[in-house]
Structure 1
Amino acid sequence: MEFSNGIRADALTSATWIKSSHSNPTGNCVELAALSDGSIAMRNSRDPHGPALVYTRAEVAAFVAGAQDGDFDAMIV
């Protein structure tokens, strides 16, 4: 089943999901998985069967660089 904003995370049966060491027991985290086609999937760890958004490596690299530079800090204050 496809979602309008991604694919079902549980359809990615060969994916190995990883989460940040900054995650906490209440589940405030996302998980990432490298896919066989070179793209990267992202899901909400509280809903592992829900949608997963899929990005290119370049898109994730641009987001990570922006996060490291503080571009999104105003969103979490």
Structure 2
Amino acid sequence: MQQTVNGMPATELEGAAWRKSRRSSMGNCVELAPLPDGAVAVRNSRHPDGPALVYTRDEMAAFLQGAKDGEFDDMVG
């Protein structure tokens, strides 16, 4: 099994099915890909060959719940 680490080139995540939000506009978004071990990889859509950050399912769940709860709204407001 391939070892995934933070900062590895996104192109090295073999078989990653990247997807972005339907709300994405003008290429300014992040893309996510589920990995075979249950982790989730994140990359900048403007730099698809650049580094990927890899998070556990629990880390992603905590982030998404925080986003839904508005905990990060002040960063874009």
TM-score relative to the length of structure 2: 0.90
Alpha-carbon distance in structure 1 between the residues aligned to 2:42 and 2:6: 12
Structure 1 residues 37 and 62: alpha-carbon distance in aligned structure 2, compared to 1, 3 A threshold? same
TM-score relative to the length of structure 1: 0.90
Give 1:1-77 correspondences, 5 Å limit: 5-24=6-25, 26-77=26-77
Structure 1 residues 72 and 63: alpha-carbon distance in aligned structure 2, compared to 1, 3 A threshold? same
C-alpha contact (below 8 Å) 2:6/2:54 kept by paired residues: no
How many residues end up aligned between the 2 structures? 73
Q: Deviating runs (4+, > 3 A) in structure 1? A: none
Alpha-carbon distance in structure 2 between the residues aligned to 1:62 and 1:7: 23
RMSD (Å) for aligned C-alpha atoms: 1.3
Deviations 1:11-53, CA, capped at 9 Å, x for gaps: 01210001001101x2110000000111000000000000000
Alpha-carbon distance in structure 2 between the residues aligned to 1:5 and 1:70: 26
